């Protein structure tokens, strides 16, 4: 099996945050941080120090994971990029050991029709699929945006959305990536949807995917989390989704309630099981009531109500 090194370089002060982001994908991370090595030092405990380390830029550090050929590396890259943007980190992403053209297109072979919930099927634009009468087909081309529907976090979030959205609801997706959750909501009968992301590339992909699925009721725009969110028709949203990571959801907790109507719902995903309690505590502190949670392969999605 072939493995590729996915390496992200950043300034040393941001290393801890970068490691936390990378650990979401794989707990086996490799860290390169030489900031503690003194200038002019030749040995450490009697061992010679490599010249490349001695001459390296001590203000720069890196974190790497190794990705097997049966994994969708493009999803990982898109996730890392979105989290770097969310945390204000200027990071350089590299794939070592694989030709760039190869990894930028090879991920398509791992992206097949995916069933979500009871009746939704996410179908990549290059695949042919014949649905049953009950199935709702979502035609997706993720491009370079995170959110193809294959990851557990997206599936869990979509399942909670399908089970709780009502016809005519106004829906907001924060950190929307490919726009998949807003498209799901639209296809399930939402009245109007908003999909916002900090990455202009993601927003462009959202618009293309919405048009492909004839979802004319989705408003896609750039926003740093909730900073530029617009109320549709001046009313609060019936349901808000955020498939991000635990730390960002906790950061959203004090402010997201202002965008949700009384008895409205907040669905949060991208949470590893170990952080569920932290997310619960943050949302409950802000007055939200927990209604449900779904788990799959170490990931968690939670459903809260605004009393």
Task: Tell me, rounded to whole angstroms, the distance of Cα 122 from its chain centroid.
Answer: 17
What mean pLDDT do residues 196-202 have? 86
Distance CA 289, CA 139 (A): 34
What mean pLDDT do residues 120-125 have? 85
Q: What integer pLDDT is reported at residue 63 of this predicted model? A: 92
- If you count them, how many residues does the chain have? 307
Q: Cα angle vertex 125, ends 80, 123, to 5°? A: 80
> Which domains are seen in the chain, by residue range?
3-97 (3.30.70.120), 152-305 (3.40.50.150)
Q: How confident is the model at residue 145 (pLDDT cuts 50, 70, 90)?
A: very low
The yes-or-no verdict on residue 293 having pLDDT over 90 is yes
Q: What integer pLDDT is reported at residue 275 of this predicted model? A: 93
Q: What integer pLDDT is reported at residue 142 of this predicted model? A: 57
Q: What integer pLDDT is reported at residue 27 of this predicted model? A: 74
The answer to whether residues 241 and 167 touch, using CB atoms and an 8 Å cutoff, is no
Question: DSSP letters along 40-99, please?
Answer: T--EETTEEPPHHHHTS-TTEEEEEEEEETTS-HHHHHHHHHHHHHHTT---EEEEESS-
Burial of 133 (0-12, 13-18, 19+ CB in 10 A): exposed
Per DSSP, the three-state class of 128 is coil
């Amino acid at each position: 099996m072939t493995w590729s090194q996915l390496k992200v370089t950043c300034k040393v002060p941001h290393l801890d945050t970068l490691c936390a982001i990378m650990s979401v994908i794989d707990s086996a991370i490799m860290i390169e941080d030489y900031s503690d090595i003194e200038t002019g030092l030749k040995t450490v405990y009697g061992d010679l120090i490599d010249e490349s380390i001695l001459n390296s830029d001590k203000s720069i550090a890196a974190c790497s994971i190794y990705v097997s050929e049966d994994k969708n590396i493009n999803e990982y890259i898109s996730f890392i990029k979105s989290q770097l943007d969310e945390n204000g980190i200027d990071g350089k992403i590299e794939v070592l050991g694989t030709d760039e053209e190869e990894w930028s297109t090879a991920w398509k072979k791992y992206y097949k029709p995916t069933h979500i919930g009871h009746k939704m099927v996410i179908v990549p634009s290059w695949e042919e699929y014949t649905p049953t009468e009950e199935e709702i087909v979502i035609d997706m081309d993720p491009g370079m945006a995170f959110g193809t529907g294959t990851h557990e976090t997206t599936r869990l979030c979509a399942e909670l959305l399908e089970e709780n959205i009502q016809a005519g609801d106004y829906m907001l997706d924060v950190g929307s990536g490919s726009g998949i959750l807003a498209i799901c909501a639209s296809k399930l009968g939402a009245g109007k949807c908003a999909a916002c992301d900090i990455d202009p590339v993601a927003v462009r992909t959202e618009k293309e995917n919405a048009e492909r699925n004839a979802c004319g009721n989705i408003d896609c725009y750039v926003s740093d989390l909730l900073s530029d969110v617009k109320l549709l028709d001046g009313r609060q949203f019936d349901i808000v989704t955020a498939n991000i990571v635990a730390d960002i959801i906790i950061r959203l907790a004090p402010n997201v309630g202002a965008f949700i109507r009384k008895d409205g719902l907040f669905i949060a995903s991208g949470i590893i099981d170990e952080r569920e309690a932290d997310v619960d505590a943050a949302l409950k502190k802000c007055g939200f009531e927990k209604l449900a949670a779904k788990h799959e392969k170490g990931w968690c999605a939670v459903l809260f109500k605004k009393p």
